[in-house]
């Protein structure tokens, strides 16, 4: 959504929320959303498409917190396009 219409994507965000950068050369194939046991939180998992002969691989896992119609926080749980970010998050936790 950000690549197609960044202005529209930003209308869903509270003023202090930034959309994490998505790295990687391959396009995003699909994004799945899952409920979380935490209230007002959803988990989104996106997959890269690496071609017909390659398996899908996870692009990122985000924990998205919302309040009615606005996203209030995006926490990067895993950034597979930059695995070192994920490792540093695990070490901090």
Q: What is the pLDDT of residues 14-26, one digit of tens each?
A: 989 988 887 777 7
Q: What is the pLDDT of residue 72?
A: 96
Question: Is 50 a member of any domain?
Answer: yes
Residue 62 near residue 44 (C-beta atoms within 8 A): yes
Cα distance between residue 24 and residue 93, in whole Å? 25
How many structural domains comprise the chain? 1
Question: Is 1 a member of any domain?
Answer: no
68: left (phi over 0), alpha (psi -120 to 50) or beta: left
State whether residue 86 is helix, strand or coil.
helix
Question: Is 12 a member of any domain?
Answer: yes
Question: What is the pTM (predicted TM-score) of this model?
Answer: 0.74
Q: What is the pLDDT of residue 54?
A: 64
Question: Is 52 a member of any domain?
Answer: yes
Q: What does the pLDDT average to over 54-83?
A: 86
Question: Is 73 a member of any domain?
Answer: yes
């Amino acid at each position: 959504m950000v690549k197609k219409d960044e202005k529209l994507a930003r209308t869903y965000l509270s003023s202090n929320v930034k959309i994490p950068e998505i790295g990687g050369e391959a396009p995003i194939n699909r994004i799945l959303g899952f409920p979380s046991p935490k209230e007002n939180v959803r988990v989104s998992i996106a997959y890269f498409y690496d071609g017909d002969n390659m398996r899908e691989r996870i692009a990122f896992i985000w924990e998205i917190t919302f309040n009615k119609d606005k996203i209030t926080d995006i926490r990067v749980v895993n950034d597979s396009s930059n695995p070192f970010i994920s490792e540093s998050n695990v070490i901090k936790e």
